[in-house]
Amino acid sequence: MLDPSPHSTRRKGTVADVPPHPAAGPPVAGDSRGRMSTLRYPHLFSPIQLGVLKIPNRVVMAPMSTQLGGSDGRVTERQIAFYRARAEGGVGLIIVEFCCVDRATGLSEHRQLSLDTPAHLEGHRRLVEAIRDAGAVACLQLQHGGAGVPRALVEGGVAVGPSDVRSRRDPSRLTARALTGAQIEYLIDCFGRTAALGVQAGYQAFELHGAHGYLLTQFLSPLTNHRDDDWGGDEERRLRLPRRVIACVKHAIGQRPLSFRLSADEFSPDGLGIEDMVRIAPKLVEAGVDVLHVSMGTGYTGLDKVIDPMSAPEGWRLPYARRIRQAVSVPVISVGQIRWPATAEAAIARGDADMIALGRPLLADPAWAGKARRGDDDDICPCTSCNFCVTSHAGPHGVIGCAENPRTGRELDPPFGSDARCEGSAVVVGGGPGGMATALMLDQAGYRTKLYEARASLGGGLIASAAPPFKDKLDWYRQYLERQLARSGVETATSSHVDAATLIRLRPDIVILAGGARAVRMEIDGIDGENVLDAYDVLMGDARGLASTGAMRIVVYGGGETGCETAEYLAGRGHEVVLVSRSPAEQLARSAEAIYRGVLLKRLFANAQVRIVDRSEIVAIRAGSVTLKDGDGATAEIACDRVLIAQGRRPDDAFAQALKAAGIPFVAIGDAHHGGRIGDAVHSGYAAVSALLEAQRRRAVPG
C-alpha cells in the first residue's frame, strides 16, 4: 500500500525489578561511550559483533513463516522479493523463517522452507545473495516440528517427539510416537546436514529454534518430555538433545555465529518458567551458543504469549530478556511487542537486550529501520497487533499478509505509479480505513483524488474498533493514515454528505464506495424507543442517552465481537451490563480473530460488571425493562435503563444502484461491499486500484 552497544554492567534482579516500558520514551543523545551522535537512536543503530561477524545495526528481522515457498520446500521468487524488501528497508540481520531439517517427519506447514537435500541449494543461494546485496546479514533458522506437526503432513498421521502423545478424543490412538535412540541420532545428523548445506548456500549465521513447543523445546521441557532414559528425566538429561544438536551444528558451520531461540517462560505449571530458563541459558552458552534469542510461550498452553494479541502492552517481554541477559555473557536478542523505535532504543540503552527483533512491524512497514534511522517515526506504518497476518497465513493455501500493508507477500507487484500512471479523476466515498487507504493508493497511481466523509472527522470503523478496552493501538493506524493524507495530493472533505447527483455532476473516471454499512433492522416490539441505542454508534463516540457519571443498567443485545466489546467498554465506565446472546456462551465473539477472542472472553467471563445471558432473545423492549425468551420458550424480565443493539451491519446498496443507473463506473469495497475486518477493506481497495492499473496497461498495449 503505502511506502508505507557493548554489554552494560550486569545486575541481579527479578522480572518485577524492571520498570514498565512506555510506547514512546525520550531519545538517547549519545552513543554507548558518551560521544554525541547525529542519530536519534544511536544505540539501536550502532554496530554489534556476533563472534567473528559484524552486524551493521541492532535491528533484527525476526523469523516469520511466510508460506511463500514451493510445495517441495524450495525458495520462490516471491519469497526472495519479500526478504529483499526488508533488507532494503535497513535491518541489520535477517533471520530467515524456520527451515525444516527433515521433511519426512518435521514439516510444520505445507509450504515450509527446507534444505535437507542439495536440490534446495540454488534457491537459498539466490535468497542469501538478495539479502546481502541489499545490505543485511542472512541467518537461517533450523527447525523440526516434533510432536506438534499437523497430522496431514506426516505419513500415517502420527508425528514423532520425545514421548507418546495420545488423542484426547480417543486415548487408544497415538497422535505422536516417542522417538527411539537411533531415530534421535538420525535427527541430530539432520540438523548438522542442513547447517552444512546452509554454509554452501552462503548463510553467515544460523539459529536453532528451541522455543514455542517445537522439537528442541519438547525435549527440554518437562511439560512434553516424560522419558526416563538418556534423553529425558532430570534437567541434565532433558538438555542432552539440545546440547548434541548445538555441537553438531557448530561443527558444520565453523566460526559462524549460532543463535538459540528459547521461550523464557512457558506459562504452564508443568513447564519451564523464567527461573528455570535463567538456570538453563548459561548451559546452552557453555554448549556453544553465541547468541540467545529470547521469545515467550508455547503453542500448547498459551498461543497468546507466542503471538501477542492487541491487548499485550508495548515492551512487556523486555524484563524477561533482561533476566536472561543478566545470566549470560553472550548477546541477547529480545522479540515481541516492540512497535516503536523509542522503545527499542530505550531497551538497549537500559541493558534489557543487545538487539531488537521485529516480526509483525516489518510486515506493516518493511522500511521501519530506515525510517527510524532518519528519525521519521511519524512515517512508519504501525503494526497494531491485529493478527490479520495470522489469519491470512492459516491453512494449506494461506500466505503471509498484513491488514495495513496489502503489498506484504505481493512484493513482485510493481508499486503503484512506478510503471503506469493514470491521468483521470477519482472520488472515494467514505473516510474509514478502506476509504482512506484507497484514496492514498489512487493518489500514488496518479489519479486526481477526492475523499468525502459524512462525519466531522476521518476514521470511520477505526474509531469504533479502537474504542473498546485494550484496542487503542488501532488509533496508531488512523493517525498514520491522517498524516499520510495530509502529505498527499488527496483532497479531503469531511462533514460532506455526497450523493449520486453530486457524482453525476462531477463525472469522475472512477468512484470507490467505501461508505461502510448500516445496522441490521430488527423487528422487536419497542425497538424504536428513546432508550434504544445502536452499539456501533456508541463506540463511534455518540454517548447521547448514556450517563457520563453514575452507573446505568444497560442490556447489550448481541453476542458477536461488537456486542462483547461493547459490554466490556460499558463495564469499564462503571455501568452494570447484561449481555444477551441468542447463541451459547461458548460461541460468543465466534467470528473474532482466535487469539484475540481467547483473551477477550477470558476477561469478559471474569468481569464482575458483566452478566451473560445466553441462548435467549429479546422479544419486547419497554421504558425500564426488556422481555427475554429462552430456547424453551420461557420468558423473563430484566430491568434496565438503556438497550444497545449489536446485531450486525449490512451493506447499503442504494448508492451503488443509483451510480449504476447513471452509468458512472464504481467499485464497492470493505463494508460497502461485504462486511469484514479492517484488513479486508484495505485489501479490497488494493485489489480495486490494481485492477484499474491493469486495465490501463491493457489499453496501452496495441491490439
Does position 25 have pLDDT exceeding 70, yes or no?
no
Q: Where does the pLDDT of residue 13 fall: very low under 50, low under 70, confident under 90, or very high at 90 and above?
A: very low
Q: Where does the pLDDT of residue 423 fall: very low under 50, low under 70, confident under 90, or very high at 90 and above?
A: confident
pLDDT for res 648: 80
Q: What is the mean pLDDT of the segment spanning 659-666? A: 87
140 sits in which H/E element: strand 137-143
Q: Where does the pLDDT of residue 4 fall: very low under 50, low under 70, confident under 90, or very high at 90 and above?
A: very low
Q: Within 10 A of 182 (CB to CB), how many other CB atoms are there?
A: 7
pLDDT for res 393: 86
In whole angstroms, what is the distance from residue 52 CA to residue 145 CA? 30
What's the grid cell of residue 510?
472512477
Residues 6+ apart with CB under 8 A from 614: 559, 581, 583, 584, 585, 588
- State yes or no: is 214 an active-site residue: yes
What's the grid cell of residue 94?
535477517
**Percentage of the chain surpassing pLDDT 90?**
79
**CA nearest to 308, candidates 343, 367, 360:** 360
Q: What is the mean pLDDT of the segment spanning 391-404? A: 91
Query: What Cα–Cα distance (Å) separates residue 433 from each residue in 342, 553, 603?
Result: 26, 33, 27
Q: What is the mean pLDDT of the segment spanning 642-651? A: 88
Q: Which is catalytic among the residues 203, 214, 452, 536?
A: 214
Q: What is the mean pLDDT of the segment spanning 199-205? A: 98
pLDDT for res 703: 55
pLDDT for res 21: 33
Does position 257 have pLDDT exceeding 60, yes or no?
yes
Q: What is the mean pLDDT of the segment spanning 23-51? A: 64
Does position 22 have pLDDT exceeding 60, yes or no?
no
Q: CB–CB of 143/106 below 8 Å?
A: yes
pLDDT for res 66: 96
Q: What is the mean pLDDT of the segment spanning 8-17? A: 36
Does position 287 have pLDDT exceeding 70, yes or no?
yes
β-pair type (553-557, 576-580): parallel
pLDDT for res 672: 63
**CA nearest to 200, candidates 110, 115, 272, 268:** 115
What is the average pLDDT score of the chain? 91
Q: CB–CB of 643/487 below 8 Å?
A: no
Q: CB–CB of 589/600 below 8 Å?
A: yes
Q: Which amino acid type is present at position 581?
A: S
pLDDT for res 473: 96
In whole angstroms, what is the distance from residue 654 CA to residue 651 CA? 9
Q: Where does the pLDDT of residue 308 fall: very low under 50, low under 70, confident under 90, or very high at 90 and above?
A: very high
674 exposure class (CB count in 10 Å sphere: 0-12, 13-18, 19+) = middle
Tens digits of per-residue pLDDT, 441-460?
999 999 999 999 999 999 99
Length of the chain: 703
Does position 273 have pLDDT exceeding 90, yes or no?
yes
In whole angstroms, what is the distance from residue 153 CA to residue 148 CA? 11
Q: Where does the pLDDT of residue 38 fall: very low under 50, low under 70, confident under 90, or very high at 90 and above?
A: low
Does position 664 have pLDDT exceeding 70, yes or no?
yes
HSE-CB at 429 with a 13 A cutoff on CA atoms is 24
pLDDT for res 6: 30
Does position 2 have pLDDT exceeding 70, yes or no?
no
263-272, 620-629, 667-676: least confident range: 667-676
Phi, psi of 287 (to 5 degrees): -75, -15
Residues 6+ apart with CB under 8 A from 373: 39, 41, 45, 57, 90
Does position 430 have pLDDT exceeding 80, yes or no?
yes
Q: Where does the pLDDT of residue 300 fall: very low under 50, low under 70, confident under 90, or very high at 90 and above?
A: confident
In whole angstroms, what is the distance from residue 593 CA to residue 34 CA? 46
pLDDT for res 29: 36
Q: What is the mean pLDDT of the segment spanning 137-166? A: 94
- Measured in whole angstroms, the distance separating CA 239 from the mean position of its chain's CA atoms is 32
Tens digits of per-residue pLDDT, 123-149?
999 999 999 999 999 999 999 999 999
Tens digits of per-residue pLDDT, 618-644?
999 999 999 999 989 999 999 999 999
Does position 278 have pLDDT exceeding 80, yes or no?
yes
β-pair type (59-61, 93-100): parallel
Q: What is the mean pLDDT of the segment spanning 47-64? A: 96
DSSP bridge pairs for 165: 176
